[in-house]
Amino acid sequence: MNCLRPTSIALVLSAVFCAHAQADEVAVAVAANFTAPMQKIAAQFEKDTGHKATLSFGATGKFYAQINNGAPFGILLAADDTTPEKLAKEGKAVDASRFTYAIGQLVLWSKQANYVDDKGQVLKTGDYQHIAIANPKLAPYGLAAMQTLDKLGLTAQVQPRVVQGENIGQTYQFAASGNAQLGFVALSQVMEGGQLREGSAWIVPEAMHEPIRQDAIVLNSAKDNPAAKALMEYLKGDKARAVIKSYGYAF
């Protein structure tokens, strides 16, 4: 909840200064896995349009609860497609604004170089002690990881070695600290500028799991906010897409 205060202060300030500037402001709740690309996109957006986007990062489920309790967000960039759909059905968001801004890519990653092979055989043959997977009940990446294990027929074999992160950020931390030798994380976390930052990885083929569709939606409070509309358009544009792609997302 501590993210609410700065946001509401920002909203008040923007209301005060509205008379002086043409620019508008929108508060955006951003799924944790999209943190890095969104920071870049928001900076470009501000430069190109003059509008301002204030960002809050966190778990999609938490944002849902906060929105239900009156959090002053204008846009939700979710980690899944079910939460925006639910908000639209419940009449809390503008259904027509809903679209898939990115498709997440699951990757089996290790901090060790030359450890993960390009077919994920290490799951079967490796002598790893722990494998980090996001909580499949809470995180789409965790669910996709479990679907992948099912498809490989390795669920029973791997399960005893699973440690669960409560979201994809924590899951990455388990693997990045080396406490878990392997981890199913988001490609966006280990990739920058189209390249793997460190370690070794297997990009899980999309046929192994249901697509990780990440949907955006405008919430009712920002229905008439020009900045919200502009940002949704901007996310569909070439500039934003180039950034999104460089972090390993598909469309």
Binding site for another protein (CB under 8 A): 59, 61-62, 64-65, 129-130, 132, 135, 137-138, 162-166, 170, 173-174, 177-180
DSSP the chain: -TTHHHHHHHHHHHHHHTTT-S--EEEEEEEGGGHHHHHHHHHHHHHHHS-EEEEEEE-HHHHHHHHHTT---SEEE-SSSHHHHHHHHTTSEEEEEEEEEEEE-EEEEESSTT-S-TT-THHHH---S-EEEE-TTT-HHHHHHHHHHHHHT-HHHHGGGEEEESSHHHHHHHHHTTSSSEEEEEHHHHEETTEE-SSEEEE--GGGS--EEEEEEEEGGGTT-HHHHHHHHHHHSHHHHHHHHHTT-B-
If the CB atoms of residues 24 and 81 are measured against another protein, the closer one turns out to be 81
Please, what is the minimum distance in Å from the beta carbon of residue 17 to another protein?
Answer: 33
For residue 176, how many other CB atoms are within 10 A of its CB? 18
If the CB atoms of residues 44 and 135 are measured against another protein, the closer one turns out to be 135
210: number of CA atoms within 13 Å, CB side?
A: 12
Please, what is the minimum distance in Å from the beta carbon of residue 177 to another protein?
Answer: 5
Please, what is the minimum distance in Å from the beta carbon of residue 166 to another protein?
Answer: 6
If the CB atoms of residues 135 and 147 are measured against another protein, the closer one turns out to be 135
Please, what is the minimum distance in Å from the beta carbon of residue 120 to another protein?
Answer: 21
Please, what is the minimum distance in Å from the beta carbon of residue 40 to another protein?
Answer: 25
If the CB atoms of residues 49 and 164 are measured against another protein, the closer one turns out to be 164
Which residues does 191 contact at the CB level (< 8 Å), separation at least 6? 197, 246, 247, 248
If the CB atoms of residues 181 and 221 are measured against another protein, the closer one turns out to be 181
If the CB atoms of residues 130 and 213 are measured against another protein, the closer one turns out to be 130
Please, what is the minimum distance in Å from the beta carbon of residue 180 to another protein?
Answer: 8
Please, what is the minimum distance in Å from the beta carbon of residue 162 to another protein?
Answer: 8
If the CB atoms of residues 8 and 177 are measured against another protein, the closer one turns out to be 177
Alpha-carbon span 121 to 38, nearest angstrom: 33
